[in-house]
């Protein structure tokens, strides 16, 4: 039983968690990526562990996107997809995560030759196995790869509407934000169709561009959650809107450091976002690529940002409230957080 004198690290380990912002390919462990690279040695991904870790040293976000695409190109069969889902479930369950909304970019897997039904079947099977083996519930977000523009938007929407996994709950937009403006209408159309089908709008915005991208996510894409979103602080009107609406923001501090969006963790805007009364959740994004974990992000919040047990528990509750869990699932996790806190 934990007490007030229990070290903060033990409290974080025991804290029930929900992960809302983690990518399927970016969640692949180093051993898994090495296995895939050795299985498909025709690409640029190293087959040696030390070289792979060096491969994960990113100069900036475009370089990260290039590396991410190279790793994504190793995922060529439905078995590969299932392996990644189960690996993520295993790793998160070991951190006392109870639920994850896993972002999948199915369009890139289709370009690798996998048909829609095969991808969906692999995702369905893996979600069931994750719950049976690891006791964690897996839901999915289908993510448009922004660099593929209108083609990627239509392809992702077609898959989400025509061959959705049973646990599909959201529709997202990722990639390099500067690539979006020429394809704005195609993205809006895809999101409108997804929302009409009952999917939640959860695009990335305000990670590498300014507040205008967040406004477009809200007004053009009907965002119900924002991935990253920390550039909102540049626009007082936007901050006021986010505070009033309590639109959840999925913040990923170590990711922002590793892709060069902040100079160091100490200067990350998360503490100011909390001071402004914004609705913040804590997430890991692409944990092995950034040498972090969801637990590690909570430790950053404690050790770098100075959050106490109450502050950490509040972030954990925020993730539950911002999730697509049913009410029974939410109540169960919230009760466990309250019992610990």
Q: Residues with catalytic annotation?
A: 207
CA distance linking residue 333 with residue 336, whole number of Å: 5
Q: Is 200 helix (H, G, I), strand (E, B) or coil?
A: strand
319 Cα distance to chain centroid: 12
Tell me which residue of 239, 245, 257, 284 sits closest to 101, measured CA to CA. 284
Residues with Cβ within 8 Å of 86's Cβ and at least 6 positions away in sequence, in order, are: 126, 129, 130, 133, 134
Structure tokens at 240: 């006021």
Q: Which residue has the tokens 């599909």?
A: 168
Q: Is 23 helix (H, G, I), strand (E, B) or coil?
A: strand
211-219 and 236-245 helices, crossing angle to 10° = 40
- Residues β-bridged to residue 18: 99
Q: Is 61 helix (H, G, I), strand (E, B) or coil?
A: helix
CA distance linking residue 155 with residue 148, whole number of Å: 10
Residue 171 host element (H or E): strand 168-174
Structure tokens at 53: 């870790």
Tell me which residue of 15, 9, 25, 132 sits closest to 74, measured CA to CA. 25
Q: What share of the chain is helix, strand, coil (3-state, %, to 5)?
A: 60, 15, 30
Q: Which residue has the tokens 């109540």?
A: 331
30-39 and 78-93 helices, crossing angle to 10° = 170
Residues with Cβ within 8 Å of 339's Cβ and at least 6 positions away in sequence, in order, are: none
26 Cα distance to chain centroid: 9
């Amino acid at each position: 039983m934990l007490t007030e004198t229990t070290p903060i690290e033990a409290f974080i380990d025991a804290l029930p968690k929900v992960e809302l912002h983690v990518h399927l390919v970016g969640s692949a462990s180093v051993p898994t990526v090495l296995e895939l690279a050795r299985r498909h040695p025709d690409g640029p991904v190293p087959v040696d562990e030390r070289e792979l870790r060096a491969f994960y040293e990113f100069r900036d976000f475009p370089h990260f996107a290039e590396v991410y695409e190279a790793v994504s190109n190793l995922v060529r069969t439905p078995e590969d997809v299932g392996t990644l889902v189960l690996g993520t479930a295993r790793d998160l369950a070991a951190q006392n995560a109870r639920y994850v909304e896993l972002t999948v970019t199915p369009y890139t897997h289709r370009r690798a030759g996998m048909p829609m039904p095969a991808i969906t079947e692999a995702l369905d099977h893996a979600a069931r196995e994750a719950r049976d083996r690891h006791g964690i519930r897996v839901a999915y977000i289908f993510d448009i790869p922004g660099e593929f523009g209108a083609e990627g938007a239509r392809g992702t929407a077609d898959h989400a509407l025509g061959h959705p996994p049973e646990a599909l709950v959201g529709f997202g937009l990722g990639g390099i934000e500067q690539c979006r403006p020429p394809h704005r209408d195609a993205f809006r159309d895809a999101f409108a169709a997804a929302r009409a089908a009952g999917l939640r709008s959860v695009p990335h915005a305000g990670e590498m561009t300014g507040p205008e991208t967040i406004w477009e996510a809200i007004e053009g894409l009907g965002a119900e959650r924002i991935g990253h979103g920390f550039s909102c602080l540049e626009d007082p009107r936007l901050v006021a809107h986010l505070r009033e609406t309590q639109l959840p923001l999925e913040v990923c501090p170590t990711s922002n450091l590793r892709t060069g969006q902040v100079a160091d963790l100490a200067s990350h805007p998360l503490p100011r976002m909390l001071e402004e009364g914004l609705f913040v959740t804590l997430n890991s994004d692409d944990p092995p690529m950034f040498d972090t974990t969801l637990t590690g992000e909570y430790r950053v919040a404690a050790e770098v940002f100075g959050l106490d047990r109450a502050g950490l528990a509040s972030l954990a509750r925020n993730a539950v409230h911002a999730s697509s869990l049913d009410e029974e699932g939410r109540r169960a996790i919230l009760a466990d957080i309250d019992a610990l806190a």
